[in-house]
Amino acid sequence: MSERGQVAPVAVAALVLLAMGIVLLGHLAAIRSGGARGQAAADVAALTAARAAADDPDAPASELRAAANAAAESNGDTLRAFRIESRGPGLPVAIDVTVAATTRGDVPGLGQRADVTVARARAGIAYSAQLPDGTFRPVDLSGATGAAAAIRAAEAQIGWPYVWGGESRAEGGFDCSGLVDFALSAAGFHPPGRPTAADLWRLATPEPASALAPGDLVFMGSASGAPFHVGMYVGEGTVIAAPHTGAVVRYEPLEAGGWDGFGRILPAAGAERPTGPVDRAARRHQVPVNVLEAVLELVPGREPDRTAAAIGSGQRRHPGDLAAALADALGDSSLAALVLRRASGPALGDGFRGDVKLLRLDPGPAPATAAVAVPLLREPAGQGPSGIRAAGAAGAAIDEGDRLLERLSGSDAGRSPLGGFAAVRHLSRLGLNALTLLPNRTLGAIGSVAGTAWDAVAVAVDLAAGGYREGFAFSGFGLWAARLTLAGSLLAAAGGLFTAITARSRRDRIVGGLQLAGGGLQAAGLATAGTDLIVLGAAGMEVPPVGVALILAGTAITAGVAAYQAWPTLRRIGSRAKSWLSDRGSAAWHGARSLVGSLPSPW
Amino acid sequence: MTRQAGQATIELVVGATLLAALALGGVDVLRVLRAHDAAERAAGRAAVLVAERRPIPDSLRRGVQLRVHGGAVRAAVRTCVLTAQIGCFDVGAVVHVP
């Protein structure tokens, strides 16, 4: 066969390999793009579900999952796992989702592929509640009517600071008659204007103390026909009243107040209800019973008396600010807002809101149902030719590395901050490169083998340091060092191509081809960092796990080729070293023997 | 010059030209990929802000055309290529925010 005939097949093979490499790189770029898209889809899915929970904390989990699923699907991806983090029933505080993005493609030698990139995101929900200014607290009547509704409305104001009168509701009037006026209005009875205690006395039907029923009114100064103080009887010898300036709306014992007149405006029927431990705890610690009920519903297992004591202390520390008092008592402003929402009912309106925010992912494990550890999906290969076996095997090897790295990267978040360390390391590597340029073949061989071994160890060290998790991050001088490495890899690949084309023996062609493959894989691995690698002014770059796998594969090939090429030289060096050691060892042995022999014997 | 040497020289020149063309094309491909990356990142970040109901800062719009309309965040980055005489065009990305 002539030399001319040998060149053309090698050139064609090199071009075919190059084309396959470009297609493979294109597919890898598409996977990377799919990963970015999947991350955006995961972020949006988590935030969408969190928004649904923020708007309605009582929404069922299936509804929230459907919201996340719709968001993921609208971006062409699939929801793989979904988890609601709650601090109690009806208290969702974060949504954790895992989304899978599939990249499909036909890669020569690997066939039809469907590579899945998994992304995870977590969105937090923070609730806040603002009670309306200039009016009494809204209250959820829970279906109560008549006197029962009036009592519930009055009890919700416990702790509200007394503000004297005024002629109208708009002016405030958070005094004794204002409180009763509000309670009656909540029950559907609207006294004309803004009634005073005397007005309420005239509206009421007088009755004896012995006939008092919950919801009835109690008066002071009724003997004059124009009482100056009014309260509402709530049963079991207890009255609610707004007593005087400097005090707050509170429960008082009926017999301790000096009440001398009693009257009824609302029918008493239905207002009488058994007083339970929650009511007693609320009265003992002067806290709104509807708020205490809401806390106990949202955080099951809490003891009513201790909870009421904590809320009461919070109210004393934050007079007139129930939201702050609850946040103080519960140690959680979001929970406080949810309690106020539950206690206030729909009347709170826009006073309640939930804000959502993307959170950093926990370093802990992904959701139990997450598909982070699921291997890459593989669609059935087509029936056509499977391509070059070697390319397929190499692709499978890369694929395995990629899969392993994907699995590892899903378990934890972290980066390998190379930076300055990389710079020093690459400079040292340049020194070894310089050795290979020396005319001395022995030194060149040593430099070549040491350099490739250096690369292999460096990659292994980086992997051990955590680079396998999210790839490598380069910045500063390390970025320039990586650029130099890219240039070196491209030169090595070009040299390999040149050698393969111009080689006169089969051995040299194989060596050249392997050099081309090794350098090309290293360059391709670095190229997965994107254009930050070559664009001046870029602050840094990141080599994803797939890039690390490519660099590793290229380094392994290059190391093998270097060792193969340098083997005769290395063997010669080894032989000389062995003989040198043998000579020196023999001399040392004889020296030692003579030294021992010259020592006086102890025996 | 021998026949073999002439053949090798021609192949070297052709190979070098091919490599140069590939390098130029590669730079352009990387440039488009970079623009696509930038568009995807901008769209993703803007989508997160929209989902969080927060305003999109001007810094995110630097070098990127961002449009939020009908539950979709679209980002476009202008890029120009040297080869293939395509000239300048927009590379876009879209993220849907239900």
- B76 pLDDT band (50/70/90 cuts)? very high
pLDDT recorded at residue B95: 94
Check A501 against B47: CB less than 8 A apart: no
Q: In terms of CA atoms, which chain B residue is nearest residue A4?
A: B4
The CATH number for A197's domain is 3.90.1720.10
Domain assignment present for A602: no
Q: Helix A389-411 vs helix A545-598: angle between axes, to the nearest 10 degrees?
A: 90
Contact A370, A362 (CB under 8 A): no
pLDDT recorded at residue A258: 83
Check B33 against A29: CB less than 8 A apart: yes
pLDDT recorded at residue A385: 32
Choose the closest CB to B98 out of A71, A355, A497: A71
At a CB cut-off of 8 Å and minimum separation 6, what does A515 contact?
A: A492, A493, A495, A496, A499, A500, A558, A561
Q: Which of A307, A322, A347 is the last residue of a domain?
A: A347
Interface test with A, best of B13, B41, B48 (most A CBs within 10 A): B48
Residues of A in contact with B30 (CB under 8 A): 527, 530-531, 534
Q: Identify whether residues A521 and A556 lie together within a single domain.
A: yes
Contact B57, B5 (CB under 8 A): no
Q: Kindly state the helix (H) or strand (E) to which residue A103 belongs, with its residue range.
A: strand A92-107
Q: Identify whether residues A104 and A197 lie together within a single domain.
A: no
Domain assignment present for A596: no
The pTM score is 0.59
Check A43 against B51: CB less than 8 A apart: yes
Question: How far off is chain A from B92, nearest CA to CA, in Å?
Answer: 12
- B46 pLDDT band (50/70/90 cuts)? very high
The strand pair at A416-417 and A472-475 is best described as parallel
Q: Identify whether residues A10 and A70 lie together within a single domain.
A: yes
Q: Report DSSP letters for A267-298, one per residue.
A: --TTT-----HHHHHHHHHT--HHHHHHHHHH
Q: What percent of chain B has pLDDT over 90?
A: 40
Q: Identify whether residues A251 and A182 lie together within a single domain.
A: yes
Domain assignment present for A226: yes
Q: Which of A332, A347, A362 is the last residue of a domain?
A: A347
pLDDT recorded at residue A72: 94
Q: Identify whether residues A343 and A464 lie together within a single domain.
A: no
Check A48 against B8: CB less than 8 A apart: no
Tell me the three-class secondary structure of A532-565, residue by residue. Answer: HHCCCCCCEEEECHHHHHHHHHHHHHHHHHHHHH
pLDDT recorded at residue A369: 36
Contact A20, A391 (CB under 8 A): yes
Q: Identify whether residues A363 and A476 lie together within a single domain.
A: no
Q: Identify whether residues A159 and A96 lie together within a single domain.
A: no
pLDDT recorded at residue A452: 66
Would you call B56 an interface residue with chain A, using a CB distance cutoff of 8 Å? no
Q: Identify whether residues A564 and A449 lie together within a single domain.
A: yes
Domain assignment present for A592: no
Give the separation between CA A224 and CA A142, rounded to whole angstroms.
39
Domain assignment present for A511: yes
Partner residues linked to B92 by β-bridges = B76
pLDDT recorded at residue A219: 93
- CB-side neighbour CA atoms (13 Å) of A72: 28
Q: In terms of CA atoms, which chain A residue is nearest residue B49?
A: A357
Domain range for B64: 3-96
Domain count, chain B: 1
Instruction: Determine whether A37 is exposed, middle or buried from the number of CB atoms within 10 Å of its CB (0-12, 13-18, 19+).
Output: buried
Question: How far off is chain A from B14, nearest CA to CA, in Å?
Answer: 11
Q: Which residue has the tokens 């006073």?
A: A351
Interface test with B, best of A3, A39, A47 (most B CBs within 10 A): A47
Domain assignment present for A213: yes
Domain assignment present for A598: no
Q: Identify whether residues A25 and A72 lie together within a single domain.
A: yes
ipTM for this prediction: 0.82
pLDDT recorded at residue A428: 56
Q: Identify whether residues A173 and A93 lie together within a single domain.
A: no
Sheet holding B72-81, edge to edge: B65-69, B72-81, B87-96
The B residues from 12 to 31 touching A (CB cutoff 8 Å) are: 12, 15, 19, 22, 27, 30-31
Domain range for A178: 146-347
Choose the closest CB to A502 out of B8, B93, B98: B8
Other C-beta atoms lying within 10 Å of the C-beta of residue A577: 10
Q: Identify whether residues A356 and A338 lie together within a single domain.
A: no
Contact A112, A380 (CB under 8 A): yes
Divide the 603 residues of chain A into consecutive groups of 10 and give the mean pLDDT of each group: 54 72 75 81 94 89 94 92 82 90 76 81 90 76 82 86 60 75 87 86 90 90 87 90 82 85 81 76 90 87 89 86 87 88 82 89 51 27 32 38 40 33 50 60 67 66 59 66 77 83 81 86 81 66 76 81 77 78 70 57 43
Which residue from A327, A470, A358 is spatially nearest to A407, judged by alpha carbons?
Answer: A470
Q: What is the DSSP letter of A263?
A: E
Measured in Å, how far apart are chain B's first and last C-alpha atoms?
72
Q: What is the DSSP letter of A135?
A: S
Q: Identify whether residues A272 and A341 lie together within a single domain.
A: yes
Give the separation between CA A5 and CA A249, rounded to whole angstroms.
105
Per DSSP (E only), the strands in A109-180 are 111-129
Give the separation between CA B33 and CA B79, rounded to whole angstroms.
10
Give the separation between CA A267 and CA A189, rounded to whole angstroms.
11
Domain count, chain A: 3
Q: What is the DSSP letter of A531?
A: G
